[in-house]
Chain A
Amino acid sequence: MAALHISEQSLTATALPSKTDENQLGKKIVVRLPVLFCGLLLAVVANSHAEELPANLDWLEVVAFARHQTDYSGVFVYQYDNRVETTSIVHVNQPDGEYEKLESLDGPQREIISHDGRIWGFVNHKMVQLGSNYGHGNFPSLLPEQLAALKANYKAKLLGVARVAGYNTQVILFKPIDNLRYAHEIWVHTDSGLLLKAAVLGDNNKVEEQYAFTQLQIGGKIDRSWIKECDKAAAKLKDAPPANADIKPINSGWVADMLPSGFKKTLEIERLMHGRHAPVTQMVFSDGLSSISIFIEPNDRDEDDEDGLSSRGAVNLYHKVMDKELITVVGEVPPRTVIQVLDSVRYNGK
């Protein structure tokens, strides 16, 4: 008896009636008249559920704009891989551009300030430049082509209103057209357009990572004393090379044939990377919401780096040695996608 029961259970996955299978439904209507009534009923119910709104992409422009133009301070939690991190953030606009300060509230103390495309951090009580924000300048960087790509690769759906950190938000779901990318759900403050919560959803709607403000002050009196310190440190480094001196655009001749549809190349550069002797080629592809980077470098690393897949939250990384090159694919896309992309990387000559 028990055995029979188990086998029944394993059948369920295939035996469930598919609610969208209207072709099948159509056949039934032709063959079996009594079903007609039920079919009609189904169709009516199905229609009442199809309240998909076509274009909710205006929201995104608001989000991209608000992210830069609003002064705010608050605390948000970031959850990934069964971990939770709490971070405070201050974002202000000054005459000479945007300033943003992030401070980790748990674990080792970390503080990051970004301004003018540069990222600063305190290491041993000294402010040093950690990196740059090449892609995102001081202005809303949501380009029309990015919006168009997003529209082609995701279905936007308004899911109603919800409260986050005491504010009313509009919930929007971006459902991907295939299973090679994650779904994204965002909670946008209805008044300011600030992104108050965001979740990346994988298979079975599993939350791969999410972040949410727990406390937020929009506008009003915001502490700006730290800006002076940042400017002082920046002034000392006036002679330092510009942030992107070690980066140059190239045409490497490398291609990836199996990128999911809709991923367009946004960048191809040669750059120096920490601990590497030779420059590394980096290609970046975007589908409007997610992006994939491909790194190609000569395999001259001493340690035996085994091939493999690793992940942190929604970001997956896969690397593999192909002939003489070490190839690494990173992106906020499912594991199957980084593997598929890497396996299709080849040199196409110059």
Chain B
Amino acid sequence: MKQKISVLMDGELFEDEAETLLDQIKRGSDVDNDWDMYHLIGDVLRQPEHIHCGMSNKIRERMEDEPVVFAPRVRAVKQRMRTFALSAAASLSAVGVVAWMSLQISPEVAPQLAMQQTAFRPASMQIKPDANDYLAAHQEFSPSADLNGGASYIRTVSYSNGAAQ
């Protein structure tokens, strides 16, 4: 089975075999886990900086928070949905707690991902030597030089050098 999943991920499984396997994935949770695990391994190999763990659960959890419009006429469905939502929310929140606690162990991860969306860094180039005068002038009157310590010393050295030439 694991072999098959691996082949499917590589896109080398025949169509009919793939369909059967996908059916199995939909039904059985074990296969589902293998599927997730293989993708996680692939992700880690491809881009070790950003590892998305337990992602589908998180997506599911976020979708829980989306407003759900229940049609008033189907009472039974609504009731069933609510029972399902309650139990699902409970288990998903438990997963959330675990995920959140694991995030706490490596505190950098969460803000990094959160900030990725807002990060805006226009293309910029190195400051040209003829702009050194501005840097030196800025440095000269910068009131926080004491707190920037060595950085301000070294800026003074390099900018002044530029001005002297």
Is this pair of chains taken from one and the same complex? yes
Residues of A within 8 A of B99 (CB): 17
Which of A227-235, A253-261, A312-320 participates in binding chain B?
A: A312-320
Query: When the two chains form their complex, are residues B62 and A15 in contact, meaning their CB atoms are under 8 A apart?
Result: yes
Query: When the two chains form their complex, are residues B116 and A87 in contact, meaning their CB atoms are under 8 A apart?
Result: no
What CA separation (Å) do A131 and B65 show in the bound complex?
61
Query: When the two chains form their complex, are residues B134 and A12 in contact, meaning their CB atoms are under 8 A apart?
Result: no
Question: Which A-chain residue is minimally distant from B159 (CB atoms)?
Answer: A131
Q: What's the nearest-Cβ distance from chain A to residue B73, in Å?
A: 22
Q: What's the nearest-Cβ distance from chain A to residue B96, in Å?
A: 5
The count of residues in chain A whose C-beta lies closer than 8 Å to any C-beta of chain B is: 109
Q: Beta-carbon contacts of A195-234 to B below 8 Å, as 1s and 0s?
A: 1001010011100010111000000000000000000000
Within 8 Å by CB of A13, from B65, B90, B113, B147, lies B113
Query: When the two chains form their complex, are residues B141 and A267 in contact, meaning their CB atoms are under 8 A apart?
Result: yes
Within residues 92 to 132 of chain B, which ones have a CB less than 8 A from any CB in chain A? 93-94, 96-97, 99-101, 103-104, 108, 110-128, 131
What CA separation (Å) do A184 and B56 show in the bound complex?
36
Q: Beta-carbon contacts of A1-37 to B below 8 Å, as 1s and 0s?
A: 1100100110111111111000010001000111100
Residues of B within 8 A of A35 (CB): 89-90, 93
Within residues 263 to 310 of chain A, which ones have a CB less than 8 A from any CB in chain B? 266-267, 269, 271, 273-275, 280, 282, 284, 286, 288-291, 293, 295, 308-310
Within residues 53 to 70 of chain B, which ones have a CB less than 8 A from any CB in chain A? 55-56, 58-59, 61-62, 65
Query: When the two chains form their complex, are residues B61 and A295 in contact, meaning their CB atoms are under 8 A apart?
Result: no
Asked whether A128 is an interface residue with its Cβ less than 8 Å from the other chain, the reply is yes
Query: When the two chains form their complex, are residues B137 and A128 in contact, meaning their CB atoms are under 8 A apart?
Result: no
Question: Which B-chain residue is minimally distant from A9 (CB atoms)?
Answer: B52
Query: When the two chains form their complex, are residues B147 and A5 in contact, meaning their CB atoms are under 8 A apart?
Result: no
What CA separation (Å) do A331 and B141 show in the bound complex?
11
Query: When the two chains form their complex, are residues A135 and B164 in contact, meaning their CB atoms are under 8 A apart?
Result: no
**Knowing A16-B110, A17-B100 touch, does A60 contact B147 (C-beta < 8 A)?**
yes
Query: When the two chains form their complex, are residues B143 and A273 in contact, meaning their CB atoms are under 8 A apart?
Result: no
**Knowing A17-B61, A130-B160 touch, does A12 contact B122 (C-beta < 8 A)?**
no
Asked whether B142 is an interface residue with its Cβ less than 8 Å from the other chain, the reply is yes
Q: What's the nearest-Cβ distance from chain B to residue A131, in Å?
A: 6
The listed residue with most B CB atoms (<10 A of its CB), out of A17, A136, A195, is A17
Asked whether B31 is an interface residue with its Cβ less than 8 Å from the other chain, the reply is no
What CA separation (Å) do A280 and B104 show in the bound complex?
51
Within 8 Å by CB of B156, from A112, A273, A314, A336, lies A112
What CA separation (Å) do A12 and B142 show in the bound complex?
42
Q: Beta-carbon contacts of A121-145 to B below 8 Å, as 1s and 0s?
A: 1010000101111111000111100
What CA separation (Å) do A147 and B74 show in the bound complex?
64
The count of residues in chain B whose C-beta lies closer than 8 Å to any C-beta of chain A is: 76
Asked whether A67 is an interface residue with its Cβ less than 8 Å from the other chain, the reply is yes
Residues of A within 8 A of B103 (CB): 19
Within 8 Å by CB of A203, from B108, B115, B140, B160, lies B115
**Knowing A316-B124, A332-B148 touch, does A49 contact B163 (C-beta < 8 A)?**
no
**Knowing A15-B59, A335-B121 touch, does A45 contact B140 (C-beta < 8 A)?**
no
Residues of B within 8 A of A274 (CB): 133, 163
Query: When the two chains form their complex, are residues B164 and A123 in contact, meaning their CB atoms are under 8 A apart?
Result: yes
Within 8 Å by CB of B113, from A16, A130, A198, A330, lies A16
Q: Beta-carbon contacts of B130-160 to A below 8 Å, as 1s and 0s?
A: 0101111110111111111111011111101
Within 8 Å by CB of A179, from B8, B118, B148, lies B118
Query: When the two chains form their complex, are residues A131 and B147 in contact, meaning their CB atoms are under 8 A apart?
Result: no
Query: When the two chains form their complex, are residues B146 and A142 in contact, meaning their CB atoms are under 8 A apart?
Result: yes
Query: When the two chains form their complex, are residues A204 and B112 in contact, meaning their CB atoms are under 8 A apart?
Result: yes
A interface vs B, CB < 8 Å? 1-2, 5, 8-9, 11-19, 24, 28, 32-35, 38-39, 41-42, 45, 49, 60, 63-64, 67-68, 76, 78, 81, 85, 87, 89, 100, 102, 104, 108, 110, 112, 114, 119, 121, 123, 128, 130-136, 140-143, 146, 179, 184, 186, 195, 198, 200, 203-205, 209, 211-213, 266-267, 269, 271, 273-275, 280, 282, 284, 286, 288-291, 293, 295, 308-317, 319, 328, 330-332, 334-336, 339
A sample of 20 more A-B contacts (CB under 8 A), given A13-B116, A204-B115, A282-B137, is: A11-B55, A14-B117, A16-B110, A17-B58, A17-B96, A19-B100, A34-B90, A45-B97, A64-B147, A102-B157, A110-B158, A119-B156, A130-B163, A131-B140, A134-B140, A143-B143, A195-B149, A203-B121, A284-B142, A317-B134
**22 intermolecular pairs with C-beta atoms under 8 Å apart:** A9-B52, A17-B61, A38-B94, A42-B100, A63-B149, A89-B150, A102-B156, A114-B156, A135-B140, A135-B141, A135-B143, A184-B147, A195-B149, A198-B149, A204-B119, A205-B108, A282-B137, A284-B143, A286-B143, A291-B141, A293-B137, A310-B127
